[in-house]
Amino acid sequence: MTTQPHNAKPSNNMALIDRLPETRGKLRENVPLAPLTWFRVGGPAEVLFRPADTQDLADFLKNCPADIPLTVIGATSNLLVRDGGIPGVVIRLGGEFAKTELRDDGIIYAGAAALDVSVAKFAAANSRAGLAFLSGIPGAVGGGLTMNAGAYGGEFKDVLLYADAVGRDGTSLKLSPEDLEMRYRHSTVPEGAVFTGAAFKTTEGNKAEILAAMEEIKNKREESQPIREKTGGSTFANPFRDNPDCDKHAWQLVDAAGCRGLKVGGAQISEKHCNFMINTGNATASDIETLGETVRARVLEQSGITLRWEIRRIGVPLTE
């Protein structure tokens, strides 16, 4: 792998990295992504870009050739990278994008790379109520915005004032929950836009009570979810939120279809919570995705309900 600045000199014969614009951040070729993902599977990024700051990101997006695919990844808690890796440029934020601050009127502003649990802890430390549920979401702010993540009675749309993003043309965007059309596990993100941060509304609260609520969430997760395994977040969205004719949680449908503990290669449906898939040690991304599709087929056959993937699957399969 290499790390170096680059000047764009477009040529069909050039390596991808040599076609990219100059940046103050880091560009590396053929970067393994499996160590970055919670599942610990998947192929490499053709090029991984870590922008230095928002302006660096904006300049890169503006000057990056339009034919080069761009993919944004975050904490990767709800992500499956296929075994062939991700072509083009993979953007991953860090550094200043992980900062959180308290602003006037009790507004908490968090960078897109800030972990949800860190934002919840920051709010608690400042006696600000309303964000405790974030401690139960295993991811970062950018991913939460992208899918309107939620847990334990709260969703991003409930507390979001606005999100900041950079468009594919390098322009600054400020997006409200209405702009994003946020609903259950869904947001409509402008094509090519990259979230950089978000402002959350809070109320004055009692620190001890907030911490107690977060401790209760932590205990519930440990009791009910395989959080110490190589896993992702919830595999499938709860269908009753999309389908008024269904009153079941996803895990109930998976269980009723006889899929608890089901295995494909090194991938397994968790015995502890059957809306979670785990890598038992030697799974490939193909094993995990095939397992998920097998479960969807069995649930459809058994109940007539088509489960919707909540885990984001990206990249290309490994070619033979």
- Cβ(213)–Cβ(260) below 8 Å: no
Last residue of a domain, one of 164, 185, 211: 211
Task: Identify the active-site residue in 82, 92, 185, 296.
Answer: 185
Last residue of a domain, one of 92, 119, 137: 92
Residues 271, 303, single domain; the answer is yes
Give the pLDDT of residue 1: 33
Question: Any catalytic annotation for residue 168?
Answer: no
Measured from the Cβ of residue 181, the count of other Cβ atoms closer than 10 Å reads 12
Residues 149, 196, single domain; the answer is yes
Residues 66, 136, single domain; the answer is no
Question: Any catalytic annotation for residue 310?
Answer: yes
User: Does the residue 167 lie in any domain?
Assistant: yes
Residue written as token pair 């899929």: 259
Question: Any catalytic annotation for residue 135?
Answer: no
- Domain with residue 269: its CATH number is 3.90.78.10
Domains: count for the chain: 3
The per-residue pLDDT for range 232-245, each reduced to its tens digit, is 989 999 998 777 77
Packing angle of the helix pair 207-224, 116-125 (nearest 10 deg): 150
Distances (CA, A) of 310 to 18, 236, 279: 35, 5, 17
DSSP of 253-275, one letter per residue?
HHHHTT-TT-EETTEEE-SS-TT
- Cβ(314)–Cβ(71) below 8 Å: yes
Task: Identify the active-site residue in 77, 118, 234, 270.
Answer: 234
- Domain with residue 189: its CATH number is 3.30.465.10
Q: Please give the structure tokens belonging to residue 7.
A: 């000047």
The per-residue pLDDT for range 101-160, each reduced to its tens digit, is 999 999 999 999 999 999 999 999 999 999 999 999 999 999 999 999 999 999 999 999
Structural domain containing residue 30: 16-92
| HSE of 64, CA atoms in CB hemisphere, 13 A | 26
E-assigned strand segments in 152-300: 154-155, 160-166, 172-175, 194-200, 203-204, 230-231, 263-264, 267-269, 277-279
Residues 246, 205, single domain; the answer is no
The per-residue pLDDT for range 298-318, each reduced to its tens digit, is 999 999 999 999 999 999 999
Rounded CA gap, 199 and 165, in Å? 12
The model carries a pTM of: 0.91
